[in-house]
Amino acid sequence: MSDVPAMRDLLGEDAPSNWGKWGPDDELGCLNYLDAVEVLRGIRHVRSGQVFTLQIQMGRTDGPGDPIWPGRRGMSRQNELDESTWDGDGAPQFPGGLHYADDTAQIFLQGSTQYDALGHVWYDGKLWNGYDARTTIGAMEKASVLPIAEKGVVGRGVLIDMARHRGKQWLDKGETFDHHDLEAAAKAQDVEIEPHDVLVIRTGWMKYWYELNDPEAFYDGFIEPGLTYSRELVEWFQQREIPNLVTDTIANEVTSDPESGVALPLHCALMRNLGVALTEIAWLDDLADACAADNRWSFLYAAAPLKVVSGTGAPVNPIAIR
């Protein structure tokens, strides 16, 4: 590990930053771009009324289960009440004789399709907007997922289908692309990535997870396909004022940067420094098929993660309306 640079050395002392742009108390970052004007701009891209939900299923007990970051566990759900409750004495009794089911669940808040809190990842002891990383101890006091959940995310979404662009069902492990590739794919799709767009990128990685149906093989030498760090890419995001990056991978970017060996540098460069909201593990295949069928790649994107107080992230079921 000694030859892997520190995050500050990789990103630079003068790394592109939006700290202070929306004031010293900001916890929304680039989601501030999504105002009423952007909501109305997104609505203008609804033409057919098709609705696509983008969350993967939670708590699957068949097939490969839930795709998760190594070290996390998929949701565990269990019944607390069901018809068997009334087989013995002591069951609750209600006038009229109704019975009901109830259940509980244990989940990693980032164990499904989810939004990261802006304070989820940091380096050099500072979170988004310069908040002290020690405010995460015990509970995330600053830049938690709650402000994102309270605001909601609504605007024009644009889907860039990198897997389809490269003629594949899904990208290979560790396969990379950058902003130049995104622009080339957009041009081939006859769509433009516009300022303030919610940028949705399909790699086919979730389809790979379910069709492979083999977690051991999926996690062997675990390195996902995705964007790779460069200062030019970070400046591209900053100049286009991208509020939200949504992908069908677990980490939004190549797991380990192929040039430097640094883990997840874009989490730091985009989220910690610029305030770009990151949405991971989205199901994009049905939406992509519909977009390809009529060559319409823009839509109204709407999402509201759960309002988890002090949460480092929260599950979400985004909706794309075409």
Tens of pLDDT, residue by residue over 79-119, are 999 999 999 899 999 999 999 999 999 999 999 999 999 99
Residues 91, 234 within the same domain: no
Do 282 and 180 lie in a common domain? yes
- 233 and 89, same domain (yes or no): no
The pLDDT of residue 218 is 96
Q: What is the mean pLDDT of residues 173-198?
A: 98
Q: Could you tell me if residue 5 is inside a domain?
A: no
Q: Do residue 32 and residue 98 come from a single domain?
A: no
Q: Residue 3: inside a domain, yes or no?
A: no
116-153 per-position pLDDT tens digit: 999 999 999 999 999 999 999 999 999 999 999 999 99
* 160 and 237 co-located in one domain: yes
- Whether 301 is covered by a domain: the verdict is yes
Residue 53 counted as domain residue? yes
The tens digit of pLDDT for each residue in 207-253 reads 999 999 999 999 999 999 999 999 999 999 999 999 999 999 999 99
Taking only the tens place, the pLDDT of each residue in 37-77 is 999 999 999 999 999 999 999 999 999 999 999 999 999 99
8 found inside a domain: no
Claim to verify: residue 243 and residue 101 sit in the same structural domain: no
Q: Are residues 93 and 189 in the same domain?
A: no
Q: Are residues 95 and 238 in the same domain?
A: no
Q: What's the token pair of residue 103? A: 């259940």
Q: Is residue 159 included in any domain, yes or no?
A: yes
1: pLDDT strictly greater than 60: no
Do 102 and 214 fall into the same domain? Answer: no
Phi, psi (rounded to 5 degrees) for 77: -115, 140
Find the domain containing 89 and state its range: 76-106
Same domain, 189 and 97: no
Contact 31, 243 (CB under 8 A): yes
Same domain, 121 and 142: yes
Q: Percent of the chain beyond pLDDT 70?
A: 99
Pairing type for strands 277-280 and 114-116 reads antiparallel
Percent of the chain with pLDDT over 90: 98
Tell me how far apart the alpha carbons of residues 84 and 87 are, in angstroms, rounded to a whole number: 5
Question: DSSP labels for 156-174?
Answer: EEEEEEHHHHTT-SSPPTT
Residue 240 lies inside a defined structural domain of this protein: yes
Return d(Cα 170, Cα 206) in angstroms, integer.
9
Torsion of CA 180, 181, 185, 186, to 10 degrees: -30
Whether residues 196 and 94 share a domain: the answer is: no
Mean pLDDT of 17-28: 98
- Structural domains of the chain, count: 2
